[in-house]
Amino acid sequence: MSASVAVYQLFNLIMLLLLLKVFLSWLPNIKWYNEPFASLAKFSELFFGPFRRIIPPMGMIDISPIIVFLVIGIVQRLLVTLLVQMGL
């Protein structure tokens, strides 16, 4: 497996985990202090937290996940393109 494919798949895994956190946040009975939900919450907060500090929730709508997915997608494309151009 080339480095570009590995990086591409890693970013896809990160986005999948973040999307899972977003969907699970809509369920009211999730106990976020129990595993595996606590680990998922800590992991997702690494990405969502900085953007929540910059862009606070608007009423009951948190748009930080949208911004995070856009930024991750851009970084993914840039990194994979760079790796492909380097022949990795």
Domain chopping of the chain, boundaries: 3-85
CB under 8 A, 24+ apart: contacts of 14-23: 14/47, 14/72, 15/69, 15/72, 15/73, 17/43, 17/44, 18/44, 18/47, 18/48, 18/65, 18/68, 18/69, 18/72, 19/69, 22/65
Q: How does pLDDT run across 25-78, given as a tens digit for each residue?
A: 898 898 989 989 999 999 999 999 999 889 887 888 888 899 999 999 999 999
Place 24 in a pLDDT band, splitting at 50, 70 and 90. Answer: very high
